[in-house]
Structure 1
């Protein structure tokens, strides 16, 4: 099969059996689904016009996906990049035609995120012709994951007939795991969703905890995201950098799969969940490859603890959270409204 554009080839996942109870959905870059579908829909609705500049901030994966979508649809692309974006990604963005500006190095990811939001607001004031993609807030980013869900549903039904499914992946903007499971539950309402969070993220209430090495880009945030639909999640795992590294290194060592840090966290959580619920099939979301984590994670593989010796603390409330790994039955509850919640500002 030939593809009209490389983005169509890169977006499609490969399913890899890891154990009797776990299967990995390995993506080159999962957010390509989101970016392609969002740009296509916005063009169809007239919310953007051909050749217009599309803007967003990113820690790397979405930036590459948006640059590919713009390349395919003849749009311009401007990225406000996190300090965590690596040189390889930056070079690709520039060659694809995107303009990139990287914020100054920060003491932590919260400040990094705030600097990016501030810069996006300034650009929008100065350039009213630019369209802000708002990957964290515009639910148009859910659309692309319907295609992933239909693909997964068909393959799981064919290979594992009658086996109940649990999806395990990073929460991040909310669109990927949320969009995937919303669609899967149209086929089967019993599909469970296990979400991964780093300590320090406000999304599921761990902002009071500080992980000095937290670089688990893409699964947590210092700013509330409208695209996170808390009522979709059955269970939440909070994990520190060292545990996520243990999962990523183990995935490479045991299965020869070179994947990102969020995938490592999901792999570790899914392994624990599969031991508790052996009747279910656990689908691990491998959102990207491990290339941008070579120096910070894989070059330090000797420091990674043995995953077999790790287990979470089971808690009943976010108030009981403790590092380095906690888990809680969320039971599809909504997020309680708080008067001091701060949203990413909408111009």
Structure 2
């Protein structure tokens, strides 16, 4: 006898951004849930553009410009398409032909940086190019995804969805730090709703954001989870724990996630999944929400095609450290304990 299943009603959306922004929630273990996004930064871009239009800061037909390594570029182009704005992207050298074609068809103009010796130089070149464009055309509006707190607003909506889906559990959010807006905005809003939320942030080696800039990870292509320049939108006092994870371990996490759960997600999700597994074993009483920011398509050649080389993440564990002085490759973890950042002088490199 066939079992009757409850059907989930389909929703008709007026614009594709409404369909793209909502994550799929997938159970990976009893106390681990993956929030899988096609492109999570749609929340940031939509929330920011709506707020700026409502405030009169920008107007329909104006050109919005920003620097991006990929997924924010697409999110901003989609938001501009929705609200009748023009879009100019200063793109990282890591933006591939598939992403660039989407941006151009959506109507965005694209400045792409030439190949660089490292992602730090790429990022600095992008910021310099944005400043040049603003000097040449003052009517451009710089979205400043790294610095403008307006990018927090869209994630408050996401926090409400998460609160409804996971109403009773003590929650640990595990996600890449990046610009600070996604994990910061969502956690800030969840705590505002009275939820007891631990926030675990993921960083690559080489990122200035949490003091790992003295390290180099030669294979690192984890664009979007760390930076060589300072981000004002990172509020260090929101984070309970920080994991620094190198390329090889992030790759192992991404391949293991696909092999074990059939989830094809990006490299930052691989790193987050790895850290969340370790956290979940240490805290079995808490529910862990893994933020899967994007799909794995832009990592096919450099990650998934090399799956035979991937390490088994179940056979590795982080070095537990008590200060940044002890930080070491390939994977370290520190209890940050919601401490504010102690200024070092690098904060002016923006």
SS at match of 2:348: coil
190, 193, 205: which one aligns with 1:184? 190
RMSD over aligned Cα, in angstroms? 0.7
Instruction: Answer yes or no: is the 8 Å Cα contact 2:230–2:346 preserved in 1.
Output: no
Question: How far apart are the structure 1 equivalents of 2:244 and 2:29?
Answer: 23
SS at match of 1:89: helix
SS at match of 2:342: coil
SS at match of 1:193: strand
Per-residue displacement from partner, 1:10-67 (whole Å, max 9, x unpaired)?
A: 0100100000110000001100011011011101111111100000000000000000
Per-residue displacement from partner, 1:275-314 (whole Å, max 9, x unpaired)?
A: 0000000000000000000001000011100111110000
SS at match of 2:29: coil
1:340 is displaced (CA, Å) by 4.4
1:238 is displaced (CA, Å) by 0.1
274, 281, 284: which one aligns with 2:290? 284
65, 73, 77: which one aligns with 2:75? 65
SS at match of 1:282: strand
5 Å-filtered alignment, 1:203-218, equals 203-218=209-224
Question: How far apart are the structure 2 equivalents of 1:83 and 1:15?
Answer: 32
Partner in structure 2 of residue 165 of structure 1: 171
TM-score where L is the length of structure 1: 0.97
5 Å-filtered alignment, 1:86-235, equals 86-157=96-167, 161=168, 163-235=169-241
Question: How far apart are the structure 2 equivalents of 1:320 and 1:335?
Answer: 17
Question: How far apart are the structure 1 equivalents of 2:95 and 2:69?
Answer: 6
TM-score where L is the length of structure 2: 0.96
38, 42, 56: which one aligns with 2:66? 56
Partner in structure 2 of residue 339 of structure 1: 345
Per-residue displacement from partner, 1:234-290 (whole Å, max 9, x unpaired)?
A: 000000000000100010000000000000000000000000000000000000000
Gaps of 5+ in 1: none
304, 310, 331: which one aligns with 1:325? 331
Partner in structure 2 of residue 15 of structure 1: 25
Partner in structure 1 of residue 265 of structure 2: 259
1:338 is displaced (CA, Å) by 2.2
Partner in structure 2 of residue 305 of structure 1: 311
Question: How far apart are the structure 2 equivalents of 1:165 and 1:340?
Answer: 33
SS at match of 2:110: strand
Question: How far apart are the structure 2 equivalents of 1:254 and 1:313?
Answer: 25
Instruction: Answer yes or no: is the 8 Å Cα contact 1:225–1:343 preserved in 2.
Output: no
242, 266, 275: which one aligns with 1:236? 242
Does residue 274 of the first structure (1) align with residue 280 of the second (2)?
yes
Question: How far apart are the structure 2 equivalents of 1:329 and 1:207?
Answer: 19
Q: Which stretches of structure 1, 4 residues or longer, exceed 4 Å deviation after superposition?
A: none
Partner in structure 1 of residue 7 of structure 2: none
